[in-house]
Amino acid sequence: MEKGQVALIVLLVMVVMLTLGISVAQRGVTDVRISKQEEDSARAFQAAEAGVEEALSTLSSSEGEFGEDVSYNAQVTEAGTTGFVVGQPVAGGETVVVNLAQASPSLSGLNLYFMEQGKDDCLTNPAAIEVSVIEKVGSQTRVRREGFDVQDRDNNFTLVAGGSYAFEGKTWCGKATLNLIGNDEEVRIKVWYNRATIGGGPRPAGATLGNQYVAVESVGKTEGGVTRAVQVQRGEPQLPPMFDYALWSGGGIVKGE
């Protein structure tokens, strides 16, 4: 073998080894970069969660540091005055509370929606709702009750037509119209027979409800610019449904303070 051929072979071997070395080095750099990004992402997410906890504990917007080179900014807003949808289906026997405190003077009623198409059972065993309206008159507290059902059952509920009703970007199987008066302070919606997603909006157009929930959006950010956001909603405090009939006698009987 001539010297030139040997030199060429050596050169080729060196090129191959150099290429392999560069490839391994690049892979190592890439792995380190990915690991760093994952670490920063986790730290930013933890900071965002810390911001949510702080905001919910104080019910006010806040910002602060979370460890080294990580910060959060949490914004709190009260929402639901123009309508609401409960995020998850409400189990049978459970209650949703609608706050009417600080509602607009023009509020005269609610459009109530129950059972979301594609999520709840609208046909085989549809849910029904029982609505209790709490009214304050001077030193007295009164309750009015009304039930709504899309199926004709022996329950003395008002039969409403099942169908397809659009509200808040969803399609609903049941819709009921509830009338309100000026002294009404709270509406309690109890689900019967099956679970159901619940939504509601004020009547007439332009009227507003009281605040229904607190919305928190918290953003965690690292010094390197990695950001992660967390959004949560918390409803207004409410008594469990087991207390409905302990506090309010049935049939609209007056209870003095």
Contacts of 200 (CB under 8 A, 6+ apart): 83, 84, 98, 110, 111, 112, 113, 189, 209
User: Does one domain contain both 86 and 206?
Assistant: yes
Is 126 within 8 Å of 173 (Cβ atoms)? yes
Q: What is the CATH number of the domain that holds 197?
A: 2.60.120
Q: What is the mean pLDDT of residues 157-161?
A: 95
Please give the structure tokens belonging to residue 138. Answer: 């001077």
The predicted pLDDT at position 252 comes to 47
Looking at the structure, do residues 230 and 117 belong to the same domain, yes or no? no
| Pair of tokens at residue 234 | 């918390």
State which residues form the domain around 105: 81-210
Find out whether 73 and 63 touch, Cβ atoms under 8 Å.
yes
Answer yes or no: is 120 within a domain.
yes
Asked whether the beta carbons of 144 and 133 are under 8 A apart, the reply is yes
User: Do 169 and 194 fall into the same domain?
Assistant: yes
Tell me the average pLDDT across 24-53. 74
**Using CA atoms in the order 165, 171, 175, 179, what is the torsion angle rounded to 10 degrees?**
-90
Residues 175 and 227 in one domain: no
Q: Tell me which of 239 and 221 has the higher pLDDT.
A: 221
* Statement to judge: residues 97 and 178 lie in one domain: yes
Q: Indicate the range of 1-5, 37-41, 115-119, 221-225 predicted with least confidence.
A: 1-5
Which carries the bigger pLDDT value, residue 141 or residue 246?
141
Q: Which range, of 14-23, 128-137, 162-171, 228-237, averages the lowest pLDDT?
A: 14-23
Indicate if 196 and 225 belong to the same structural domain: no
What is the Cα–Cα distance from 156 to 251, expressed in whole angstroms?
13
Q: Closest Cα partner for 202 from 82, 101, 85, 97? A: 82
Q: Are residues 63 and 99 in the same domain?
A: no
Residues 37 and 71 in one domain: yes
Domain assignment present for residue 231? The answer is yes
Band of the pLDDT at 26, cuts 50, 70, 90? Answer: low
Question: What integer pLDDT is reported at residue 80 of this predicted model?
Answer: 84
Cis amide linkage into residue 204, ω under 30° from 0: yes
pLDDT for res 250:
47
Query: What is residue 232's predicted lDDT score, i.e. its pLDDT?
Result: 81
Q: Answer whether residue 181 shows pLDDT above 60.
A: yes
- Average model confidence (pLDDT) for the chain? 83
Element (H, E) at 203: strand 198-203
- pLDDT attached to residue 171: 97
What are the tens digits of pLDDT across the range 40-88?
888 888 888 888 888 888 888 988 888 888 999 999 887 788 999 988 8
Number of folded domains that form the chain: 2
Say whether both 205 and 89 belong to one domain.
yes
pLDDT at 31 over 60: no
pLDDT at res. 257? 43
Is 155 part of a structural domain of the chain?
yes
Q: Tens digit of pLDDT for each residue in 93-144?
A: 999 999 998 899 999 999 999 999 999 999 999 999 999 999 988 888 889 9
Q: Are residues 85 and 204 in the same domain?
A: yes
Distances (CA, A) of 214 to 60, 68, 102, 134, 255: 10, 30, 15, 22, 31
